Amino acid sequence: MPVVDNAIYIDGRREVQPDSMDRTFSELRACPGDGHSFCWIGLLRPDPDEIHAVAQEFNLHRLAVEDTITAHQRPKVERYDDILFVVLRPVRYVDSAEAIEIGELHLFLGPDFVITVRHAEEPDLRPVRQRLEQDPNLLRTGPFAVLYAVFDKVVDDYGPVLDGLQTDIDQIEEQVFDGDPTASKRIYHLTREVITFQRAVEPLPLLCSEFRDHLKAQAGESDLELRRALRDVADHSTRAVERAQNFRELLVDVMAVNAALVAQKQSAELTALTEASYGQSGQVKRISSWAAILFAPSLIATIYGMNFTHMPQLHWILGYPLALLVMVLLAFGLYTLFKRSGWM
């Protein structure tokens, strides 16, 4: 069985037995039901048969069992008679890949038992168990003490994730104003990661409220301190939700600024290209004008240079000066025309 750890807690203290890890679920289920004792079983990546075995021993509802087997649930709390089924989404930020890894953690809370089912290595609940075992007064309050400590661990782990996102957003802002062409892709990618994080944390304040209401109904003195502790966790989760929302809005603004800067740069490039085109057009006009001016005299000279024997005006005394005069007048006329048209 994928049992990471199991223990029976009596009056806030762990029952120490040499063969505790070899105890069956039936033996754990048989812990004294005096209201001050409960068992805590931690499972890691159990297969469906193993989950069904636990469910049969602790009488877990089939719908909750199906959710645990299927996984990929959103954070939620559901009540089945006297058993609470809680889903939490731990988050870890991989800075090298700028990606958020979301795990899944399921808890079954009964009057005298807690079952934690992890579908990933993170978060490691051993520090949570050790912390509780060092605080018998808190552990004496029962299964809800485990729920609080696990909840607190999950929410505390959001802090490094938010710090990593903040660092990446700061870097993106520098990229945008430095004109880095890869900024758009990075903004889009990070926006998706922030949205993923939001989905994991948004339901948590409401879950905390439901837990406090349940404890308030018990109206115990020890439960009062636990409700205060849960209120602190709720405050932290609310701040995480608010920071995630601020990140998302900031990324939208950064995307808009980046789009404006890209558009401005493209406009400047288009203006420069247009000016260059205008310059080239003027040069083409001048070249074309001179080509036309030179073509007219060349045409006349070419005609009279064909050396035919019988050709009008070939033996005329005024033919040569008249041809030169026509060439000059035609060239001058074309020059004047092109000059007035702005081509010269």
Amino acid, res. 75:
P
3-state secondary structure of 214: helix
pLDDT score, position 34: 57
- In the chain, what percentage of residues exceed pLDDT 90? 10
What local confidence, expressed as pLDDT, does residue 18 receive? 54
CA distance linking residue 244 with residue 267, whole number of Å: 34
Mean local confidence (pLDDT), 266-283: 69
Instruction: Count CA atoms within 13 Å of residue 264 on its CB side.
Output: 9
Gap between the Cα atoms of 220 and 307, Å rounded? 127
Asked whether residue 89 carries a pLDDT value surpassing 60, the answer given is yes
What angle do the packed helices 221-303 and 204-218 form, to 10 degrees? Answer: 170
Structure tokens at 63: 């719908």
pLDDT tens track for 35-75: 568 888 888 888 888 889 888 888 899 999 999 988 888 88
Highest mean pLDDT among 21-25, 120-124, 215-219, 251-255: 251-255
pLDDT of residue 115: 92
Half-sphere exposure of 5 (CA within 13 A, CB side): 15
Instruction: For residue range 217-233, list pLDDT tens digits in order.
Output: 665 555 677 888 888 88
The mean per-residue pLDDT over the stretch 291-305 comes to 73
Bond preceding residue 46 cis, omega within 30 of 0: no
| pLDDT at position 276 | 66
Pick from 78, 96, 103, 75: which is nearest to 87 by CA? 75
Highest mean pLDDT among 53-67, 86-100, 260-274: 53-67
Q: What is the pLDDT of residues 98-119, one digit of tens each?
A: 788 888 899 999 888 899 998 8
Q: What is the pLDDT of residue 246?
A: 92
Q: Is 193 exposed, middle or buried (0-12, 13-18, 19+ CB in 10 A)?
A: buried
C-alpha closest to that of 138 among 40, 225, 10, 236: 225
Residue with tokens 């992890």: 118
